[in-house]
Amino acid sequence: MKSLRDQYQVNPKFIHTDKDLAEIKAAQAVWVSAKHQLCWWHVRKAVRPCLEKDRLSTSAYNVHISHTEFEFIDLEFIPRRQDGRPTAKAKAKNQLVEPLITQSSWPNALKVTIKIPDGFNFNMVAELEGSASGTEDESMDIAEEEFIEGSNGLFFPEIYHDLIINMMEHHFCAHLLIPGFSAPTSEGIRYWAVKEMYDFCVKHDLTFCWAYLWENWYNWSSWKLWARAECEEIAILKTTMICESQ
């Protein structure tokens, strides 16, 4: 890598690799200013086998770090045994450790002042909202509810695998230059992505799943390797498979 940089003046803006940590660190040491971008195909390949395992295989989950960075994360939402006690994976890191970054406020908040006209009838608005039906949001809620039956809150129920991976792909592709569901900033996009995935896990009682996703993908050190939002420009490539097939 040093030869490419020093002898051939190769200074890429983006470096695409799989999840090989040694390769990632080597590239980061040589091209300090380049954006490291994990290949989506390899991300998906790494996530799916972990979701298919019947046991939690991840670093110990430190809920204090995630809560310090994102206040909406509940300190009690941690992997537990059937008797209600925290698992070893949850207890191993119960000491307080400073997070790499902190969220001082909600980055997607907008301060808006609305002056209510005199004589406005709130009862009329409530009646109109109550009569509305067949909206897209309602249909999405119904579709998601179909997956709830059979969830036991342990590890990674198969019925959620595709939903989780598809959600991760949306988070992978989100970018400052693409209109989306958050403020057009890297902080806003990460806040939205973490909250969406966390809320999904809370809704379906997937404590083990959240512990795995946070420790391996949504903590700051991991997130900046695979999320496109961590760079002002957008990489042309989404995967490295075209290069690897040659």
Per residue in 158-211, pLDDT tens?
Answer: 899 999 999 999 999 999 998 888 888 999 999 999 999 999 999 999 999 999
CB 41 within 8 A of CB 239: yes
pTM for this structure?
0.72
Separation of alpha carbons 171 and 181, rounded Å? 10
Q: pLDDT tens track of the chain, all 246 residues?
A: 887 777 778 887 888 778 778 888 887 788 887 888 888 999 999 999 988 886 666 678 899 999 999 999 999 999 876 445 666 555 544 444 555 555 545 666 655 566 777 666 656 555 555 554 444 444 344 334 444 433 444 567 889 999 999 999 999 999 999 888 888 899 999 999 999 999 999 999 999 999 999 999 999 999 999 999 998 888 887 876 665 554
- What is the CA angle 168-91-57, rounded to 5? 45
30-35 contacts at long range (C-beta below 8 A, 24 or more positions apart): 30/1, 30/2, 30/4, 30/5, 31/1, 31/5, 35/230, 35/231, 35/233, 35/235
Q: Where are the chain's structural domains?
A: 40-131+154-229
- What is the CA angle 98-198-100, rounded to 5? 20
Predicted pLDDT of residue 123: 63
Separation of alpha carbons 116 and 113, rounded Å? 10
Residue found under tokens 């420790």: 215
